[in-house]
Structure 1
Amino acid sequence: MTVNLIHFSPTANLTASENLAEFIRMCKEDLTVFSADLDWEATAWPKAANFTKLGVSARGFTESDRLDDSLIDFAKAYFRYQQGHHPTGTKNESKALRVLEAAFVKTTESASISGLNFAILDEAAVLARDHYVPMAAYQCGRELQRLARFVSEKNLIQSDLSMWKTPIKKPSDITIQTGSKAKSIQAKKLPGQDALEALAEIFANDPTDPKDIFTSSTFAMTMCAPVRISEILDLPADCEIEELDSKGVVLSCI
């Protein structure tokens, strides 16, 4: 299936509301991402997204669980546009749109994207922290930042929010930290002494089974130089090559 992708360029002599209307129209009528026969009005787009409020279950939702009517068309347009141009498996646009709607509802009377401002973005980030686990909240914050820059640069809103930065920091990785707790977690991921000695003994006994040769040789090599694991991952399927001389005698085997 051919996907029809179009880049949206705002028109300078149009107002922000007029550019917004054209952006939604283009995404609804001209894009073919998620199928040319996509049911735009549906709350759920199969294998794509549910346009439902923050905290609503992915199954069993009702029409009252839909995103606010004043936001939902923009939400669908933005989701379809971004997933068309930058497809991802995580689809973090959904997270950002849900916390954004919740922030609108909490702070204003309307959830129209036209009313987006710094305060609503800040509140959305707070809601992301409260609702999602740390890594998901971080991803949500990054998507909020991208959305703010997008609607500003495409002249879909009157305000310039392109300088807004997400306050949600990326969760620290325990594997690169120091201290007794980090060492304890790292130690649990390592094989025990008995396992290490068993693999070393298999290697020393010159195994004949191909699986034993590969496993024990890889173990021995990475124990000496761990960074060389990349060489194993890059091995081709047929990595044994015999070189012959002019008389057909094997010169080498690599």
Structure 2
Amino acid sequence: MIFTPDGVASAESNMTRFIAFAKEDLTIWGPDLIFDEPIWDVTDSYFVRGRPHRIKLRFCDRDKEGTFTPVPLEEPFAAQIKSVLRYRESIERREAAPLLSLSAYKTLLQAYRTTGMVPNLTNLTSSLVDTAVAIAGETSSYHAARVGVALAELSRFLFTNRLAPFAPPDYRHGVSRSYRKASEKGLPSEEALEALPKARLLATHPRDVILTNVMALLVVAPSRINELFALPSHCEVRPLDPHDDRYMLWWAGSKRHQDFIKGIPEALTPLAKESIGLLRKCTSAARDVALWYEKNPGALFLTSDLEHLRGKDLSVDDISLITGITSKWWATNRRLKSVVGGPTARYSFGEVERLFIAMLPSTFPIMDRKTGLKFSEALLVVPKNLFDMKTQAFTCMFEPITYSRVQEGFMKAGGYSHASACRRQTSL
């Protein structure tokens, strides 16, 4: 029997179906197998010449002396690895029981515990597999290699069957110690980690509110930051079941990962909701401007109270009202030619309009070519120059938030940048 994952369901939903399938529909190791028991006796399914002892799959821990304890492994990890082992054995019968695979999965459980993550295969990542291989390497390089091979197979299986969206489909074990140490040097300091929540609570300027809540989203929903840039403003997903109160976000995949629905842990749901709400509020004006340009190609955005200026020669004060820039020298610095005649400098509306139309992103109206997301639909789109510390933001033009903007807003290789959101807030 073949398990068929739901192509549009979340990994958590597919995993629930997969466990039920393995528990109720499969008969490998006997139709009377008690799935929830921590020890499975599978002796009758294998013949091992010269070894008359019982063959048991033990889903429980060992004590310090290496003896199995009666305490079962924690859920949902135990049910997940039971299902994987039973299903894979039903697809491809092997001469030996999957004791080595089970041992590797227990090493993976150690990796979850070491990193402090909840043991759940749906959130498997290459970093977790690396940690498991490193733990196995403390015994011997041979053991590390065997664990790496087993976990590479597990990762590929989970990814292919839509059970773990971040599981590496082509994992290669054997991360060098020097590479691991170099990676650890790039981790933020304890000081920086402690400053993040404080900076978020103290932030008032839209720039800082956006930056700190982007980081909050990366905490509640760990992922590649480029996937965050492809979030639509309406990214919250309501479960079809009215009794299901889980909080989920529609997420754009990357690096061969498909788009998927990401469930947020219940304890982090309030933070996720608040961060999405604050980001949406701080970026709504930019989306409105982008939508206006979609509907009015070739024209300059004006608020309704400034429409009377369209097509007229503009004073310096008029330009300030249109652009949001209070500098009296803005037009001069842009080398706009003033209209001849009159006691004060005035500028052609057409010249100002052409200057701003040229600022539109080259891919407009599409922001993310992979998903087709428009600027007018994106969560992370802001007034142009909002993150420029030396000038004011334009009220008539927009731009996407980029990786460099987030990077500059926090830490650089040499320490805090001049634009650090943490430094601005924590120095208050």
> Could you tell me the TM-score, scaled by structure 2's length?
0.35
Q: Do 1:16 and 1:155's aligned partners in 2 also have CA atoms closer than 8 Å?
A: yes
Instruction: State the match for 1:17 in structure 2.
Output: 12
Distance 1:60 1:99, change over 3 A: closer
Residue 155 of structure 1 aligns to a residue whose secondary structure is: coil
Give the unaligned 5+ runs of structure 1.
1-5, 170-254
Measure, in 1, the Cα distance between the counterparts of 2:10 and 2:122.
11
Give the structure with the larger helix fraction. 1
CA distance in 2: counterparts of 1:61 and 1:53, whole angstroms: 6
Residue identity opposite 2:129 in structure 1 = L
Distance 1:71 1:56, change over 3 A: farther
What amino acid is aligned across from residue 80 of structure 1 in structure 2?
R
Write the distance in 2 (CA, Å) between the matches of 1:32 and 1:90. 15
**Counterpart among 97, 105, 116 of residue 108 in structure 1:** 116
1:185 maps to which residue? none
Residue 85 (structure 1) shift: 2.2
Aligned length: 161
Shift of 1:134: 4.5
Q: Describe the superposition over 1:6-63 as per-residue Cα deviations: whole angstroms up to 9, x where unpaired.
A: 1212121222111111111101110011100001111110134101236777855221
Which of 28, 32, 35 does residue 37 from structure 1 map onto? Answer: 32
Paired residue for 2:73, among 64, 67, 75? Answer: 67
> Could you say which residue in structure 2 is the equivalent of 1:245?
none
Alignment of 1:54-203 (within 5 A): 60-63=68-71, 66-86=72-92, 87-89=94-96, 91=98, 92-131=100-139, 133-167=140-174
Q: 1:147 to 1:56 in 2, by over 3 A?
A: farther
CA–CA distance in structure 1, aligned partners of residues 154 and 21 of structure 2: 18
Residue type of the alignment partner of 1:163: D
Deviations 1:211-230 (A, max 9, x none): xxxxxxxxxxxxxxxxxxxx
Q: What CA distance in whole angstroms lies between the structure 2 residues aligned with 1:60 and 1:9?
A: 35
Seen in structure 2, the aligned counterparts of structure 1 residues 98 and 83 have a Cα distance that, compared at 3 Å, is same
Higher strand fraction: Structure 1 or Structure 2?
2
- CA displacement at 1:119 relative to structure 2: 1.1
Shift of 1:83: 2.2
Work out the CA distance in 2 between the residues paired with 1:100 and 1:14: 25
Contact 1:138–1:168, Cα closer than 8 Å, also in 2: no
- Residue identity over aligned pairs, in percent, reads 21
Task: Assess, with a 3 A threshold, how the Cα gap between structure 1 residues 49 and 19 changes in structure 2: closer, same or farther.
Answer: same
Deviations 1:169-204 (A, max 9, x none): 9xxxxxxxxxxxxxxxxxxxxxxxxxxxxxxxxxxx
Superposition TM-score, scaled by structure 1 size: 0.58
The answer to whether the 8 Å contact 1:93/1:143 transfers is yes
8 A Cα contact 1:70 1:110, kept in partner: no
1:71-107 alpha-carbon deviations (Å, 9 max, x no partner) = 1110110111122223241622212210110000110
**Distance in 1 separating the partners of 2:170 and 2:21:** 27
Q: Distance in 1 between matches of 2:61 and 2:34?
A: 19
SS in 2 for 1:61: strand
Higher RCO by CA contacts (8 Å cutoff, separation 6 or greater) = 1
Unaligned runs of at least 5 residues, structure 2: 42-54, 177-428
Where does 1:199-218 land on structure 2 (aligned, <5 Å)?
Answer: none
For residue 49 of structure 1, give the secondary structure of its aligned residue in structure 2: strand
CA distance in 2, matches of 1:58, 1:38: 26
